[in-house]
Structure 1
Amino acid sequence: MKFKKNYLINELDLPYSALVDDITDTSRWSIHHEIVFEHEGKFYQTYYSEGATEMQDESPWEYEEDVDCDEVELKEVKVMKWVPVSK
């Protein structure tokens, strides 16, 4: 689903009101985020970047007018992980 950038920022107060806001990557100039937010009883996930320093003037979805968002749901997920052997 596509949302207008202005709607996300002005009406939904994103990214500040997001239910989840995880940093997924960093670069020299930007911090990349993945967020989950609620809209009309459904949950959506999307991404944005912001400037990494006070000198980098980059705001969420600065270069996008329409923002692609995927509908998501919360599910339990089991994960295999390497852990130290108890001695």
Structure 2
Amino acid sequence: KGQIVKGIYHVQHVNQRASDLRDFIKSFKGVSTKYLQNYLNWYAINDKLMNSAIPAIAAIEMAVQSFTTWQDYMLIRSGTLII
């Protein structure tokens, strides 16, 4: 069978993450490669929130860590930036 653990991640862990991402992408009717990075960002944020003990705290921590959070908020509020 060979070695199944190399480095810090088990092969099963990597396979599970790939499967989870595949399932996330399949939930959409179609994925444009133009917006693929946005889908990946959404997946990463969703994963971080769902695996957090307190999702609201995790969301606040992510917002505070972003350099452009306030600017984005003001653009959304003014209607200039549409999500």
TM-score (ref. length: structure 2): 0.25
More strand by share: 1
- Indicate the structure whose relative CO is greater, using CA pairs within 8 Å and at least 6 residues apart: 1
Q: Structure 1 or 2: larger helix share?
A: 2
**TM-score w.r.t. structure 1 length?**
0.24
Q: Which has the larger radius of gyration?
A: 2
